[in-house]
Every structure is written in structure tokens, then in C-alpha cells.
């Protein structure tokens, strides 16, 4: 019995080590492109083209690439545009989606069931199907292009269905009705019940929604490129286009611009990462 137990324990340890090795290999494969961007952001264009895997440029670290990126991208202005669009979009999205989900879960109205079904149905419609008509309406009919709030409204429209769906599952499976009933017995109305009882309990799923939508909106290029045609409204992904020429591109400055653009997102993820996994699991449909 002891020998069998020892063999079983050895196999378990070997399997554990094997899984760790596989995880490390997958991590290296996943992080390799990011490391390559960071390394090449400190090299000249010629070295990047000839020796993309070389760690240090023959002429030393090219910190000038970052200065060029900040100046030519108008980094401060572009960063503000991205921060404004993403920040307002995510805040409104979390607020409206959580309120709608709570209403759909706690009421038995036919209008709520129909609205929730339409939201779920809209999630299967590809963005490319409505892309051209949407921009034509906002541009030709309403003349609302080149406005930051236009981008906010579009983000809100495209993102509210998924966020409502995630909050709906979380509320249905993790927030007991007894808490809300106790609040109403104590004299709290619907608004106070939601903002003082329900909303604080939605922190895990809202953190997940926030990081997912921030990543999506911050890195979005296609939609802002159609809404913003003037340089003073460019977001960071659009501003990086400055370094792409008709016949050649300055890869060193492009890599530096990409590094500067992704740094804020990484910081946000590090702050909210402890809530992301728990929110995804807790918000699953049960």
C-alpha cells in the first residue's frame, strides 16, 4: 500500500511539474510579441528591419524614439481624447447596464422580457453590417461626426447588450432578494435600494465589465477612424498612424507609440485583475 501510494504521489508531482512547464512555455509564447515591441521601441529603423530579434541597437538605446512619439503624435492631446471617450463610455455603460439588468431580473413585465430578448438578439449582429449606415446617418443626416460625445453614444449603444447580459446573470445568481426586501421594509425606495444595496454588490462583475470594455475601446481603431476625421480629435490608435508613410514607415517610433499607448491599459488591468476572474465566473449563466 505504501509503495502504491508513493507511485501515485510521484505521478501527481510529475504531472504538476509538467503542467507548470507547459504554462511557462505558453506564457513565453504569449508575451513574446509584447517583449519584441518593447525591445524594438529602443532601436533604429535599420536595425529593426535587419535584426528584429537583436536586444540592443548597435548605436545604443534609442530613447529619442519616445520623444519623437510624444511630439509627433501630440501624445497629450491624443491621450486626453482616448481617456475622455473611454472613461465616459465605460462609466455610463456600467451604470445603465447594471440598472437595466436589475430591472429585468426583479420584474416580470412583458416589456422587460421583450427588451432583454432584443438585447440578446442584437449581440449576434456583426458591427460591419451596420457600420456604413450608422456613419452615414450620423454624418450626412445629423452632422455629428468629429464630436467626442458621438463616439461615447456609439460605444454605449454597441456595448450595453453584452454588459447587461453579464450583470443579469450575476444579479440572478449572487444577489438575494431578501436583502432588497429588508431595505424596503426599512423604508428605502427603489433608487436607494439599488445604489446602496445592489450596486456595491455588483463590484466584481462591474470590474470585469470595466476591464473588458476599456481594452476594447482603448484599442479600437476602425470606428474612431470613421467618426474622427480631424487630427485634434484623434485617439491614440489613430495618432500612431502618423508614423505610417505611403512608401515607408518609421518602425522605431511606431513601437514607441504602441508602448506608450498600451501602458495605461496594463496599469488599469493590474489594479482590477483580482476582480476579473471572480466576476467572469460569478456572472456566468446558471
CB contact at 8 A, 238 and 228: yes
| pLDDT for residue 212 | 86
The mean pLDDT of 135-148, rounded to a whole number, is: 81
To the question of pTM greater than 0.85 for the whole model, the response is no
Local confidence band at 94 (pLDDT 50, 70, 90 cut-offs): very high
What residue spans define the domains of the chain?
2-40, 71-282
Residue 169: which residues within 8 A CB-CB, separation 6 or more? 283, 284, 285, 286
Q: Poorest-confidence range of 83-87, 127-131, 216-220, 282-286?
A: 282-286
| Pairwise CA distance, residues 277 & 279, whole Å | 5
Q: Residues 199-222: pLDDT tens digits?
A: 988 988 888 888 889 888 998 888
Q: Poorest-confidence range of 3-7, 190-194, 203-207?
A: 3-7
Q: Residues 27-80: pLDDT tens digits?
A: 899 889 888 888 888 888 888 888 888 888 888 888 888 988 888 888 889 999
CATH superfamily, domain at 71-282: MetI-like (1.10.3720.10)
Q: How many CB atoms lie within 10 A of CB 183?
A: 18
| pLDDT for residue 284 | 45
As a whole number, the mean pLDDT across the chain is 85
Least Cα distance to 222 among 238, 245, 244 occurs for 238
- Which tops the pLDDT comparison, 2 or 168? 168
Amino acid at each position: 500500500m505504501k509503495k502504491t501510494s508513493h507511485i501515485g504521489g510521484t505521478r501527481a508531482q510529475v504531472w504538476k511539474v509538467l503542467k507548470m512547464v507547459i504554462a511557462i512555455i505558453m506564457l513565453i509564447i504569449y508575451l513574446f510579441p509584447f517583449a519584441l515591441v518593447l525591445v524594438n521601441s529602443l532601436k533604429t529603423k535599420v536595425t529593426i528591419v535587419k535584426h528584429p530579434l537583436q536586444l540592443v541597437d548597435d548605436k545604443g538605446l534609442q530613447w529619442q524614439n519616445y520623444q519623437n512619439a510624444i511630439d509627433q503624435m501630440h501624445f497629450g492631446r491624443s491621450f486626453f481624447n482616448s481617456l475622455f471617450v473611454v472613461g465616459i463610455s465605460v462609466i455610463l455603460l456600467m451604470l445603465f447596464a447594471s440598472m437595466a439588468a436589475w430591472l429585468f431580473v426583479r420584474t416580470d413585465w412583458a416589456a422587460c422580457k421583450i427588451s432583454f430578448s432584443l438585447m440578446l438578439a442584437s449581440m449576434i449582429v456583426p458591427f460591419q453590417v451596420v457600420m456604413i449606415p450608422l456613419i452615414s446617418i450620423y454624418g450626412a443626416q445629423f452632422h455629428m461626426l468629429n464630436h467626442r460625445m458621438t463616439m461615447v453614444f456609439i460605444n454605449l449603444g454597441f456595448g450595453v447588450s453584452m454588459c447587461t447580459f453579464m450583470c443579469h446573470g450575476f444579479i440572478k445568481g449572487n444577489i438575494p432578494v431578501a436583502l432588497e426586501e429588508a431595505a424596503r421594509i426599512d423604508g428605502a425606495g427603489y433608487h436607494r435600494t439599488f445604489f446602496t444595496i445592489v450596486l456595491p454588490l455588483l463590484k466584481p462583475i462591474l470590474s470585469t465589465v470595466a476591464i473588458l470594455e476599456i481594452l476594447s475601446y482603448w484599442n479600437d481603431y476602425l470606428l474612431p477612424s470613421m467618426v474622427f476625421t480631424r487630427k485634434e480629435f484623434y485617439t491614440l490608435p489613430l495618432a500612431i498612424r502618423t508614423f505610417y508613410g505611403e512608401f515607408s514607415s518609421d518602425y522605431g517610433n511606431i513601437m514607441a507609440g504602441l508602448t506608450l499607448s498600451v501602458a495605461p491599459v496594463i496599469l488599469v488591468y493590474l489594479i482590477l485583475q483580482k476582480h476579473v476572474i471572480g466576476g467572469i465566473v460569478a456572472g456566468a449563466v446558471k
